[in-house]
């Protein structure tokens, strides 16, 4: 089987599993599990946004949560002012995308190097966090929506069917919507990456100077990638605000940013399915750890195991040191070498793979 047909099989498999998941889950499991799975799906969209920006675009963005939070806040504020969810949903995509474009313009056209880029995105996230956090007073409001500062905005009205204010989407509908959105995002990104644009951004990731000499403007392509990533993260934020009917500044926070990075690094940079797997795995782990929360016990080990940052920290260090490529690419490599050694691989010379970064 050559790489192309393997690719198609993989794509088909994701489609079948995804649709089966979409259709079967609400019929099989209890509503609370559906609710839990919904947030996994939403976070997986967020993971995909960074998978595009970092994994394919090569732009290390420590502040993906800024766009996520911006999307959530935009939706909440617009919803209180408008009351019908079509426009707020669009705004929740447009505002983060515009913000990403502005920030990206500063960064890419300033020709800031990779490392500084990480620090700047981090700083911007902290600025947003600090500013929103300090807007608790009643004088901070946009239209009829109070910003609420560190208290967050509670009671956000849910999405409704387009144009019909009286038909809000219920919990199960939210699951269908989130899962369908995730599948659409996945296949949309596959399509995007298979296109000319996708090839070019991967080319720029591999060797920016060479791409530039071939006549492509890396700044414009990076800016476009970054903006698409921002829009996707904003969309995920909008869904998230819907899911909990609540937003608070912590979704801008460093912990949230760290989580997104961890999903991508655990799953594997340069794949799309990897970050989804990483996201769902880590989310599940978080829930499982949270469930064991000791009730006021003083046992140090119990405290350590219930301590999400500590576990995340260990996971992040371990993956960077031991599995730097991430789970999915590593498993893929193992599978490929097994296939090669079992078949007539010894006789047939493998074509040399192009140099990978």
Partner 1 sequence: MDLVALLAIQVLYAIASLALISVGLAIIFGMMRVINLAHGEFLMLGGYAAIVATSHGISIWIAMLVVAPIVVGLIGVIVERTIIRFLYGRMIDTMLATWGLSLFLVGLTTAIFGNTTVGISAPLGSFQIGAYRTSVYTLFVIAVAAVVLAAIFALIRWTRLGLIARGTMQNANMAAALGVNPPRVYAVTFGAGAALSGLAGAVLAPVSGVFPTIGVAYVAKSFITVIGGGAAILSGTVSASALFGTINQIATFVTTPVFGEVALLAAAIILIRLLPQGITGRFFRRGL
List interacting residues with partner 1 (CB under 8 A): 60, 106, 110-116, 118-120, 122-124, 126-127, 130-131, 133-134, 254-255, 258, 261, 265, 300, 303-304, 307-318, 320-321, 324
Closest CB 93 distance from partner 1, rounded Å:
24
**If DSSP codes are grouped into helix, strand and coil, which group holds residue 134?**
coil
Nearest-angstrom CA–CA distance, 29 and 75? 30
Say how many C-beta atoms besides its own lie within 10 A of residue 338's C-beta.
11
**If DSSP codes are grouped into helix, strand and coil, which group holds residue 146?**
strand
Closest to partner 1 by CB, 154 vs 324, is 324
Closest CB 190 distance from partner 1, rounded Å:
25
* Secondary element (H or E) of residue 145: strand 145-146
Closest to partner 1 by CB, 124 vs 182, is 124
**φ/ψ (deg, to 5) at 349:** -75, 135
Closest CB 315 distance from partner 1, rounded Å:
7
Q: Residue 52, exposed/middle/buried by CB under 10 A (0-12, 13-18, 19+)?
A: buried
Closest to partner 1 by CB, 162 vs 309, is 309
∠ CA 52-25-17, rounded to 5°? 50
Closest to partner 1 by CB, 106 vs 161, is 106
Closest CB 188 distance from partner 1, rounded Å:
27
Closest CB 319 distance from partner 1, rounded Å:
8
Closest to partner 1 by CB, 88 vs 148, is 148
Closest CB 242 distance from partner 1, rounded Å:
28
Supply 137's token pair.
Answer: 């007073």
Closest to partner 1 by CB, 184 vs 318, is 318
Taking the C-alpha atoms of 189, 271, 96 and 147 in order, what is their torsion angle to the nearest 10 degrees? 130
Nearest-angstrom CA–CA distance, 218 and 24? 44
Nearest-angstrom CA–CA distance, 253 and 122? 10
DSSP string computed for 60-74: --TTHHHHHHHHHHH
N-terminal to C-terminal alpha carbon distance within the chain: 25
Closest CB 61 distance from partner 1, rounded Å:
12
Closest to partner 1 by CB, 90 vs 136, is 136
Nearest-angstrom CA–CA distance, 258 and 320? 14
Nearest-angstrom CA–CA distance, 54 and 184? 20
Closest CB 124 distance from partner 1, rounded Å:
7
Closest to partner 1 by CB, 113 vs 341, is 113
DSSP string computed for 153-205: B--PPPPBSTT-TT-B--HHHHHHHHHHHHHHHHHHHHHHHHSHHHHHHHHHH
């Amino acid at each position: 089987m050559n790489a192309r047909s393997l690719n198609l099989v993989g794509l088909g498999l994701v489609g079948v599993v995804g649709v089966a998941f979409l259709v079967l889950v609400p019929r099989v499991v209890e509503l609370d599990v559906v609710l839990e799975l919904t947030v996994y799906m939403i976070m997986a969209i967020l993971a995909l946004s960074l998978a595009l920006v970092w994994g394919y675009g090569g732009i290390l963005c420590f502040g993906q949560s800024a766009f996520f939070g911006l999307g959530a806040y935009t939706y909440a504020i617009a919803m209180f002012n408008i009351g019908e969810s079509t426009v707020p949903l669009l705004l929740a995509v447009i505002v983060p995308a515009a913000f990403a474009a502005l920030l990206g313009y500063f960064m890419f056209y300033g020709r800031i190097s990779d490392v500084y880029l990480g620090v700047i995105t981090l700083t911007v996230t902290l600025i947003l966090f600090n500013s929103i956090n300090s807007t608790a007073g009643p004088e901070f409001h946009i239209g009829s929506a109070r910003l609420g500062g560190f208290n967050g905005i509670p009671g956000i009205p849910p999405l409704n069917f387009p144009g019909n204010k009286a038909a809000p989407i219920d919990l199960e509908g939210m699951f269908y919507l989130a899962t369908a959105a995730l599948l659409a995002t996945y296949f949309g990104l596959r399509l995007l990456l298979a296109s000319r644009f996708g090839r070019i951004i991967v080319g720029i990731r591999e060797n920016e100077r060479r791409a530039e000499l071939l006549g492509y403007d890396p700044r414009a392509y990076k800016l476009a990638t970054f903006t698409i990533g921002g829009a996707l993260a904003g969309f995920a934020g909008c869904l998230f605000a819907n899911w909990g009917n609540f937003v608070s500044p912590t979704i801008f926070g460093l912990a949230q940013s760290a989580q997104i990075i961890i999903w991508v690094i655990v799953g594997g940079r340069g794949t799309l399915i990897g970050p989804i797997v990483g996201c769902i795995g880590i989310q599940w782990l978080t829930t499982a750890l949270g469930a064991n929360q000791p009730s006021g016990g003083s046992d140090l080990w119990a405290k350590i195991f219930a301590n999400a940052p500590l576990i995340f920290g260990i996971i992040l260090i371990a993956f960077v040191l031991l599995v730097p490529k991430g789970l999915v690419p590593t498993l893929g490599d193992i599978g490929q070498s097994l296939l090669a050694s079992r078949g007539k691989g010894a006789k047939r010379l493998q074509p040399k793979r192009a140099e990978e970064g």
